[in-house]
Amino acid sequence: MHPRIYSWFACAIFFLSAAASTPASGQTSLPPAFGCYRSFVRQPEMARIFSQELGVKTRCFCAANTINRLGGGYCEYPPIWVGEGEYEFEHFDAQMAEMNATNPDGGLICMVDLNSPWWLSRKLFRFDSFTDIISACASPRWMKMTMRWMKDFLAYSEAHYGDRIAAYILCAGSTTEWLDHRHGYTSMEKDIAWQQWCKEHGVDYGPAAPTYPALHTAAFENKIYDPATEQDKVDYWKYSNDAVADALLTFAHEARAMLPAGKQIGAFFGYYFSGGNTVVADGHMEYERVYASPDLDFFIAPGSYSNRQIGEGSGSQTMFETAMLNGKRFLHEIDFRPHDFGTRLQKGKVSDIKAWDSVEDDIAGNTREACFALIHHASYWWFDMWGGFYAEPRLRARIGELEKIQQRFRDDMSPSVAEILLVGDPQSLYYVRETDPLAREGADALRNRLSVTGAPYDCCSFADLERLDLSRYKVILLPQTFLIDSKRAALLREKVCTGGRTVVFAYAPGICDGSSLDAGRVRTWAGVPFVSGDKDIHETAMDGWKAVYTYCADAFTAETLRDICSRAGVHYYVDPMYPVFANERLLSIHCKEGGEQTVYLPRKVSRVVDLFTGEVVAKRTKAFKVSFSSPDTRLFEIIP
537 domain-assigned = yes
Total count of domains within the chain: 3
> In terms of domains, do 216 and 307 share one?
yes
Write b or e for each residue in 37-50: b if 16 or more Cβ atoms lie within 10 A of its Cβ, otherwise e.
Answer: bbbbbbbeebbebb
Domain coverage including residue 540: 420-567
**10-residue mean pLDDT series, the chain (640 residues):** 38 38 42 90 94 96 83 85 96 96 93 94 89 96 98 98 97 96 91 96 91 94 98 97 98 98 96 92 97 97 95 95 93 94 57 83 98 97 93 97 96 96 98 94 96 98 97 98 98 98 98 98 98 97 98 97 98 98 98 97 98 97 98 97
- Cβ proximity of 64 and 110 under 8 Å: no
CA distance 365 to 363: 6
> In terms of domains, do 109 and 134 share one?
yes
**Domain boundary residue among 344, 377, 409?**
409
State residue 345's pLDDT score.
55
3-class DSSP state for residue 572? coil
213 domain-assigned = yes
> In terms of domains, do 237 and 350 share one?
yes
- Cβ proximity of 457 and 465 under 8 Å: no
Q: What are residue 583's DSSP bridge partners?
A: 416
> In terms of domains, do 241 and 335 share one?
yes
234 domain-assigned = yes
310 domain-assigned = yes
**Domain boundary residue among 409, 441, 471?**
409
State residue 159's pLDDT score.
98
3-class DSSP state for residue 316? strand
> In terms of domains, do 537 and 593 share one?
no
534 domain-assigned = yes
CA distance 171 to 73: 14
> In terms of domains, do 465 and 444 share one?
yes
CATH number at residue 557: 3.40.50.880
> In terms of domains, do 48 and 197 share one?
yes
> In terms of domains, do 479 and 622 share one?
no
574 domain-assigned = no
**Domain boundary residue among 540, 567, 594?**
567
> In terms of domains, do 198 and 251 share one?
yes
State residue 4's pLDDT score.
41
> In terms of domains, do 210 and 250 share one?
yes
CA distance 507 to 443: 13
575 domain-assigned = no
> In terms of domains, do 47 and 183 share one?
yes
> In terms of domains, do 252 and 186 share one?
yes
State residue 321's pLDDT score.
92
Size of the chain in residues: 640
233 domain-assigned = yes
- Cβ proximity of 272 and 287 under 8 Å: yes
